[in-house]
Every structure is written in structure tokens, then in C-alpha cells.
Amino acid sequence: MAQFSFLNDLNSAVRMDEPITKGPVPRWQKKTLEPSGGINSSLNLSKGKISASFNASSSGMPKTPKQSDAMAMKKTPSKTPKKSPGKTPSRTPTRTPSGGDRFIPSRTGTNFELGHYKLNQQENEREDDGLSPAQKDNRQAMKETLHGCDISQTRILAFQKKAPAPPEGYVNPLKVLYSQSKTPMSAKATSRYIPHAPDRILDAPEIVDDYYLNLIDWSSTNILAVALGNSVYLWNAATGNIDQLLELEGQDYVSSLNWIQEGNLLAVGTSLGCVQLWDATQNKRLRLMDGHSQRVASLSWNTFILSSGSRTGQIIHHDVRQREHQVALLSSHTQEVCGLKWSPDGKYLASGGNDNMLYIWSGIPGQASYQTTPLYSLSAHQAAVKALAWCPWAPHILASGGGTADRHIRFWNCNIGSCFNSIDTKSQVCGILWSSAFKEIISGHGFANNQLIIWKYPSMAKVAELTGHTARVLHLAMSPDNTTVLSAGADETLRLWKCFVPDPLKKKEVKDSAPIHSILKQSIR
């Protein structure tokens, strides 16, 4: 009988149609034993199998693979132990619906048949080599009709829908780490809020529409002087009160205005060539000074020296302390002097005329002697030079603007008399002002855009454009706190723009105001 049992074992060993009773448990059977199909159940099952094998080996009784597998299958998977706070957290972080940095596409819309065709496209093309051109076209059309798209323009791996937009305020950390430029969170603010609408609009009826005149000025005591026809009105910016200072008689009209640096003295130039001094607090005329034969279109103060430019091209220095007020006569201009500005330190006087010339004159502060020949004669402008402004933090730098035929703003170093920068504004330049708080300039323009432009200095990058005037901007004036710009237009309106308001979070610098010399008033009277 022994030989029959041996043959039976041999036959059962070589037969392939019977179920396998030895070896490891198949994967699908392990899956059925897992309660949730998770990673922890598989780990627990493996731990049970390992512990069973370890117990069998430690007892000294060798276990067959069949017995080990049976013990592992009988082993009940243990429940997932609760994690204590001190243990290492899971490697896979929990992702919230609103956050995350991954996009997991949905494969429900994937065309697997088309992908299979694209993978085997080379073999399909080899099969089509033996076909005629008509048969190839028919087969290609049939394929495109079957798949519903142009096969040549289709890719195997492509998203059917675009990735969702990131939540508001989300910044990719990889961009922060690997981008060379600064991200919006780390970059400093390069711009500020500038209102593009005027803060207030005032009526200015009968303002003379003349490019060469200078009809508004803002005093250090916050009083705005405006010349309307033959009258001068004072507007208190703090209270809003309006008072009439003077009214000329006959055909005479006001052609220029200028406040003294500190105080309430107002110089008024008339069309008949006379210069008047008025005390704005008492509404009283203090002095009348002659010397010009035609209208006075420009005025500028330098302490007790008042310079006036007329239509004849002459510039007269008046010493208001003396009975004989005329101390110097400058006669280089051949046409009307429409721009006149002393530098903040009183070292230079800039004069621009309708002869397209810009002259730089030397001045000695505190003395009555002045040179009658210009230091520099600058002829770069191709039109009348009315807009003049000195840099407040660099008194030797002058900005000048040309008329309609020129349209340029040019910057001059008056220590050496050279132009170091210029820009084409595309419009007639009527006025220029500096802002020391933001290192910017603002320019008022006439033909053809009638707007105000704020420029960053020295790059001359355009910061903002302020529009609203329906006619050319004739004059500009700055408030004493350097926050508000007033523009006077030929449309008979005055517009106040709060374009240089400092950041309230930053500390404001308090500047001590210079005392008003009472001896000056006494000497004038």
C-alpha cells in the first residue's frame, strides 16, 4: 500500500487544477479580513502574523507555512490605538477645503480610448501605409467622428477643466523661496492713494485768461490772494471767509500777485506798470512804487527786496525799506518777463521771458548791491518760459517749463549752469511746484490736455494725472502745510487737490516758523 500512497501524493503534487492549499494568503483574502481597508488594519494584521510566528519559534515547535497562515488568519486585527499628544503626528497633513496647494484632477472625463489610440499611433500609421490616399482620409475622418475631436491636436494627458483659483490672500510659499523678485507681501508699497477728484471747487469769475500773468498766491498765514479783473480777493482757507482787498479804477487791471515769505504783506502789480504794497490784516495800502512803463507780469520777494518784471523785458529790484526803492535794473530780456523766482537761500534769481530765454542772476542776501549781468543765459527752451520752481531741499536746482511750442520741463544745476534732465510733457507747461515730503513735482498744463501731472523726482516717472479743468490751467499755488495744491483755470474755477497729504501713521516734522520782523513794517510806513 505504500507505493499507492506515494503515487497519490505525486499525482496531487503535479496537478494544476486543484486549489492551492499552501503558501501565503492571497491579497484579496487579506482585504476581506480588513474592517476598513486602511493602512492601520494591514499593519495590525502583519503584527499578528509576526507575533504568531515569534511565539511558535520561541516554544521550540517548528510551524509549517500552512499552520502559520492559519494562525495569522485567525488573528483578529486590533483596533487603531489612539494617538497621544506626545507622539509624532501623521505624515499626511489634514487639508481644509479652502486651502491646500495641490490640484487633483478628476478622471471621469478622460477619454481612455483616445489615449490608447495615441499611444499606439505609430503602429496604426504603419498599418495605414498600404492604403490609398482616399482610404486614409476616410479612416481619419471616421476616427475623428468616433472620438469627437481633432486627433492631431489632442494630447493624451490634458486637464478637461482649469485648476480652481486660489483663495484670496493666498501666497505660494515656493514663490517666496525661489522667485528673485519680491512678493506682494514682502514688497514695500510703491504708491500711495491720491484723490483724482478735487477736494473743493471755487468760482473765479472774470479771471484774466492770459498765459503770461501770475494772478494767485498762497501766503504763509493760510490766506489765498486771487486777482479777478481789476480786483483782488482774499480767501481764508481756515475759516472760508472771503474779503475784497482792493479794486483798481478805470481800465487798469491786476497783472501779478506775490506774498512776502513771512507775514501779511502782499505785492500787487498792475497793467499800468505800478507796484503796490498792501497790508492784508488792515486792508490798507502801504506804498506805491513806480519804475515800469508797461504792465508788471511777475513779482518775487527776497526778504526786504522785491523784484518785478515787466512787459518791456526789464527787471527792477525794489528795496522796500528805502525812500529811493529802486536799487538795480536788469535789462537782458527783449520781451515780457513772465516768470520770476528767487531761490530759497536768496543766492540766485531765475527769470523767464517771452523771448524763450532763461536767465540766472546772482543775488547777495541782506545787501543792496546786485549784479546787472546774468550769470548764465540758457536758451534750451523753444517757447516762453513762465513756470519756474526751485527745489526746497537743494536750493541750487531749478525746474523750468516751456510754452506750447516747447512743452518740456527742464532741470538745471545753477552752480554750473547746465541742464541735467528734461522731459516732454506733451502739453503747454503753465506752472510747477515741488513737494518736499514725497520728493515729487506737480505741473499744470494748458493746450492740449488741460490737466495736472504728478511726477516722481528724479526719475520723472508719472505718478498720477488730475483732470477736471475744461480749459487750460493758468496758475498753481501750494498751501503753507504743503499738502494741498490750488489750480486756477481759464474755465473760471479754482480747484483744490489734496494730493500731498502725509501718511497719518508717520510722525510729522514740526518746523519752527521764522519770526516776523516788525521793523520791516515800521520802515515801510
Q: What is the pLDDT of residues 481-511, one digit of tens each?
A: 999 999 999 999 999 999 999 877 665 444 4
**Closest listed residue to residue 363, CA positions, set 303, 310, 418:** 303
Q: Does residue 98 register a pLDDT over 60?
A: no
pLDDT of 221 higher than 60 = yes
Q: State the pLDDT at residue 279.
A: 95
For 185-195, what is the mean pLDDT?
A: 61
| DSSP label at residue 93 | -
pLDDT tens per residue across span 40-75? 444 444 444 444 444 444 444 444 444 444 444 444
Q: Is pLDDT of 24 > 80? A: no
- Distance (Å, whole) CA 465 – CA 437: 19
> What's the CA gap between 247 and 227, in Å, rounded?
10
27: three-class secondary structure by DSSP: helix
CB 371 within 8 Å of CB 384: no
CB count, 10 Å around CB of 160?
A: 11
296-338 per-position pLDDT tens digit: 999 999 999 999 999 999 999 999 999 999 999 999 999 999 9
What is the chain's mean pLDDT, rounded?
A: 79
pLDDT at position 106, please? 62
Edge-to-edge strands, sheet with 242-247: 216-218, 223-228, 231-236, 242-247
pLDDT at 448: 81
Percentage with pLDDT > 70 across the chain = 66
Instruction: Identify the weakest region by mean pLDDT among 89-98, 128-137, 290-299, 424-433.
Output: 89-98
Lowest mean pLDDT among 147-151, 271-275, 454-458: 147-151
Grid coordinates belonging to 53: 510566528
Q: How far apart are CA 68 and CA 33, in angstroms?
A: 16
Mean pLDDT of 248-272: 95
pLDDT number for residue 212: 96
Quickly list DSSP for 351-377: EEETTS-EEEEE--TT-S---SS-SEE
User: What is the pTM (predicted TM-score) of this model?
Assistant: 0.62
How far apart CA 310 and CA 334 sit, in angstroms, is: 11
Residue 410: CB atoms within 10 Å: 21
Higher pLDDT, 158 or 312: 312
Structure confidence by residue, pLDDT tens digits, 352-402? 999 999 999 988 644 445 788 999 999 999 999 999 999 999 999 999 999
Q: What is the mean pLDDT of residues 277-283?
A: 94
Q: At what angle do helices 133-147 and 112-119 cross, to 10 degrees?
A: 150
Q: Which amino acid is at 222?
A: N
Distance set, CA 399 to CA 244, 275, 419, 458 (Å) = 33, 27, 10, 11
Predicted local confidence at residue 173, as pLDDT: 62
* Amino acid at position 178, single letter: Y
Taking residue 242's Cβ as centre, other Cβ atoms within 10 Å add up to 12
**Is 476:444 a contact under the CB 8 Å cutoff?**
yes
Cβ-contact 334, 353 below 8 angstroms? yes
pLDDT of residue 53: 44
| DSSP letter for each residue of 212-228 | T-B-EEE-TTSEEEEEE
Please name every residue paired with 306 in a beta bridge, in sequence order, or none if there are none.
301, 318
Check residue 309 and give its pLDDT: 97
Distance CA 142, CA 385 (A): 78
Which range is least confidently modeled, 68-77, 257-266, 284-293, 514-523?
514-523
Listing DSSP states for 169-186 in one string gives T---HHHHHH-SSPPTTT
For 403-452, the DSSP string reads -TTT-EEEEEETTTTEEEEEEE-SS-EEEEEEETTTTEEEEEE-TTT--E
> Where is pLDDT greater, at 511 or 408?
408
Q: 472: closest CA among 399, 390, 379, 407?
A: 407
pLDDT at 118: 73
pLDDT at position 156 over 90: no
Asked if pLDDT for residue 523 goes beyond 70, the answer is no
Listed range (87-101, 163-177, 226-240, 424-438) with the worst mean pLDDT: 87-101
Stretch 411-433: mean pLDDT: 95
Q: What pLDDT sits at residue 119?
A: 75
pLDDT, tens only, 115-125:
777 777 777 77
Half-sphere exposure (CA, 13 Å, Cβ side) for 419?
A: 17
- In angstroms, rounded to a whole number, what is the distance separating the alpha carbons of residues 254 and 271? 6
Residue 91: pLDDT above 60?
no
Using left for φ > 0, alpha for ψ between -120 and 50, and beta otherwise, residue 250 falls in left
The band of 102, judged by pLDDT with boundaries at 50, 70 and 90, is low
pLDDT for the residue numbered 310:
96
pLDDT at 181 over 50: no
pLDDT for 434 equals 97
What's the confidence (pLDDT) of residue 217? 97
Average pLDDT rounded to a whole number, residues 169-174: 64
Q: Please tell me the predicted confidence (pLDDT) of residue 518.
A: 39
